[in-house]
Each structure stands twice: as C-alpha cells, then as structure tokens.
Structure 1
Amino acid sequence: MSTHDMSAYDDLPLPRTDLALSAMRLARDIEHPAIFNHSMRTYLFGRSIGEQQGLRPDLDYDDELLFLGCVLHDAGLSDQGDGEQRFDVDGADLAARFLGEQGVSPERIEVVWDAIALHLCHEIALRKRPEIALVTAGAGFDLSADGPYTLPAGYADRVHAALPRLHAAAVLFDAVVGQALTKPHKAPPYTLPGEFLRQHTGRDWPTWRQLMDLPAGWHDYDGYRPAR
C-alpha cells in the first residue's frame, strides 16, 4: 500500500510506518472488505479507549504493535489464513509468519501473536498489556459499542465515513460458519465459533458428560453419586 493509497484515511490517526503499511496491504488483499474495515476500526476504537484510560501512544504502549494486532486480528478468516485451528489461532500464526518475513524480532512477534490469539478471550486479554488488551477492547466496541467507554463526539462518524461497516457483524458470522461447515474441528463446542455453528445448524451441543465419556472412555460417571 503506497502513501497515495492512504489518502482515504488522512483524517484518521493511523501509524504510517513501513511495517504498518505492509500489514495493512496484506489485510486488505486477503480479507473481505467488511472484515478489513472492521479490523481498521478495531485499532481506531481501541486507541480511543486507551486514551480514555490515560494511555498515550508510543509513551505507554507501542502503537505500531497495537496496530499490527488490530489490522491482522481476523486474518484467520481469509482463505490464506484458513488452517486447521480456530480462526483466532490461525490468524495469529499467519501474522507471526508475515512479521517474521519482515524481520520483526521474536519478542515483538509474540506480543502480536498473543493479541490476536486472545482476542476472543475477553476477560483474559483485558488484563494483559495495552497492545493486547486494546485489540480486544476495540474489536468488541466496534461490534457492540458495549462497555464503559464512549467515543468523542463525531469520531464514529469520521471513522465510518472512511471505513464503512458493510454489514460487518453478518459477514464475520458467515465467515466463521463457512469455515466451520467445511472443517467442524475449527468450531469446537462451547467456543464462540462453536456457538456460531450451533446457531446456524440448530444442532444440540453434547453435554459435559457426553464429552467426557466418548473420547477416552474413562467411565468417570459410572457409579458416581453427587455429594449432598
């Protein structure tokens, strides 16, 4: 992505480093436009949430790392990112490979990997360093605008003018389900992808006892009587 390609975002506080531009180009090229726009908004909303927490870019956290985690956090929903794991872990692995090819240090890659792999684990991610926590906070805010934070007046309008929603929530749901219909192991029971698949198919989830009895056959429930 060239500087000219960035002109649509001139009014937005995005990092302009070579690495950030390369990551943006990758995400734009491999992702559905709605998912790309969601990923960009994740950064913009996450950064704003950080400011409301008193966190200053490049003083209290590494702004480039936050951007990389945000812009690549749903890369696992692309054809190139579709592996054999849940999409969040597949996306983290794709990001790590890309950043390694760019010469990024293992320590910095690990932060981005954690940010992407943990972004569905809300309670855990929010207790991590800002480069990780703000990915989850920004992604969640973009989809539900839920939580204790509010955006500055007119900010959402500016962001949406440059990065329209394009039915983001619906596209994300269909992308997760589409992968899971082909590879059900990517959506195990009691996970968010698993719940999306259950809602789409109407299938019942196995009970805890069924999950425990079927694979190993340890018979933990045979003769068991719960304490009273």
Structure 2
Amino acid sequence: MNDELRLPATELARRTLVHAQSLLPAALFHHSVRTYLYGRLLGEQRGLRPDHDYDDELLFLGCVLHDCGLSAEGNGDQRFELDGADLAVRFLEEEGVASDRAEVVWDAIALHMDREIAARKRPEIALVALGAGFDLGGGPEKLPPGYADRVHRDHPRLHTAAVLHDSIVNQALANPRKAPLFTMQGELLRQVGGESWPTWEQLARSAGWNDYEGYRP
C-alpha cells in the first residue's frame, strides 16, 4: 500500500479493522476506511498532525466503527449511529480500552451525522464526521492530484451511497423507531413510503397542553 494510504499499525487498530470487516458489507467497510483516509488528509490540510494534535488511533477507531450500527449485530432500537456507538464501546471495553478513550470513540460515532456539532469537538470527533461526509458528498476541499484514485483503488466504492441508503431504510422499515421524525433517517423512510409529516402545530396540539388555544401571532 502507498505510504500516504497507511493505516495505524497498533494491535488494537488491526483487531478493530478485522472486527469491522466481519460486521459490515464490503461497501460500508471500505467506506469506513476511506472515512479515515479522507478525515486524516483533511485534518492535515487544516494543520492537524496525527499523533501530535490528536490521537491517530482514536480517529481510526471512530472511523472504522462509525457505521457498525448498520450491521446485524449493531441493529437495536435507536438511530443507527447511537446503536453503533454503543456497540463500539462494548467491543473496545472487551479489548481493554480505557473508558475515557472509549468515550471519545462513542462521541465520534454518535455525532458523525451532524458535522456542525462534531466540528466543535476535539479533532478525533470532528474528523470522523468530516471524513464520512466527504466520502459521500465531496466538499470544497481540494485533494492532491490522483489521491482519490489511489484511495478508490485500494478501497473501491462498490455503490457506497446506494448501499448506505438501503441499509438505513431497511432497518427503519423493520423498526420505525430507528427513524424519528425530522431526522435524516426519518426523511429517507418518508421518501420511500410517501407519508406526509405532521406540522409543528399538529405535533404541539397532539401533546394536549393547549398551547395554541387562543394564540394570536
């Protein structure tokens, strides 16, 4: 592998990579590794140096495990990023990782769907969201010439966006609690089913507090 595409060489990183590969379909596994490669590079473009300005192993753990809530083992009753964060911590605890380090990984996974919030957190958290978002939607950042081609050679896309969409929707179809109203998961489920969402006023009236009775804007 080209040195610029190197992955952390610690024993924990290696075991985590094997664990993620055992859980995820190939498309999501490669997306998870690309999340790290793009997140690390985009961090470097912002002046963040691995293992100087942030813990590179923690970034890798957060990236590689960030979609494990979409696996059969990670599929619970919460939004997939919360289920994935819980699953990641259970795995890391079994690996003997200290609770404060595992908590950083939990935050990185739980917040990766909200780049604006994640961006205000420590780099290991911010760069997971940044890398995942870039791998799916690109961004204004400019990559070195040929970098994306080299990444995709080693970690092919395999219809990543389509597989991710179907993984989220299939979980939500089986358990609508995983797709609350006004979340991204909820919107994907709405698009598939064609349901209409209630308005703010309808939701408020359904609470029974009579907040709209007699109200005049």
Written as runs of structure 1 = structure 2, the 5 A alignment for 1:51-62 is 51-62=44-55
Written as runs of structure 1 = structure 2, the 5 A alignment for 1:26-65 is 26-65=19-58
CA-CA distance at 1:192 after TM superposition: 0.7
Equivalent position SS for 2:158: coil
In 1, the alpha carbon distance for the partners of 2:77 and 2:48 equals 36
CA-CA distance at 1:212 after TM superposition: 2.2
The residue type equivalent to 1:220 in the other structure is D
The residue type equivalent to 2:89 in the other structure is A
CA-CA distance at 1:210 after TM superposition: 2.0
Worse overlay, 217-226 or 102-111: 217-226
Partner of 1:167: 159
* Superposition TM-score, scaled by structure 2 size: 0.97
Partner of 2:116: 123
Written as runs of structure 1 = structure 2, the 5 A alignment for 1:184-223 is 184-214=176-206, 216-223=207-214
CA-CA distance at 1:206 after TM superposition: 1.3
The residue type equivalent to 1:25 in the other structure is V
The residue type equivalent to 1:74 in the other structure is D
The residue type equivalent to 2:144 in the other structure is P
Spell out, residue by residue over 1:51-76, the C-alpha distance to the aligned partner (whole angstroms, 9 max, x if none): 10011100110000000000000000
In 2, the alpha carbon distance for the partners of 1:210 and 1:85 equals 24
In 2, the alpha carbon distance for the partners of 1:54 and 1:119 equals 21
CA-CA distance at 1:10 after TM superposition: 5.7
Written as runs of structure 1 = structure 2, the 5 A alignment for 1:97-116 is 97-116=90-109
Equivalent position SS for 1:223: coil
In 2, the alpha carbon distance for the partners of 1:103 and 1:213 equals 49
Written as runs of structure 1 = structure 2, the 5 A alignment for 1:69-108 is 69-108=62-101
CA-CA distance at 1:187 after TM superposition: 0.4
In structure 1, list runs of 5 or more residues that go unmatched. Answer: 1-8
Spell out, residue by residue over 1:149-174, the C-alpha distance to the aligned partner (whole angstroms, 9 max, x if none): 11111111111001000000010000
CA-CA distance at 1:140 after TM superposition: 0.6
Question: What number of residue pairs does the alignment pair up?
Answer: 216
Equivalent position SS for 1:136: helix
The residue type equivalent to 2:197 in the other structure is W
Equivalent position SS for 2:216: coil
In 2, the alpha carbon distance for the partners of 1:20 and 1:107 equals 17
In structure 2, list runs of 5 or more residues that go unmatched. Answer: none
Worse overlay, 205-214 or 55-64: 205-214
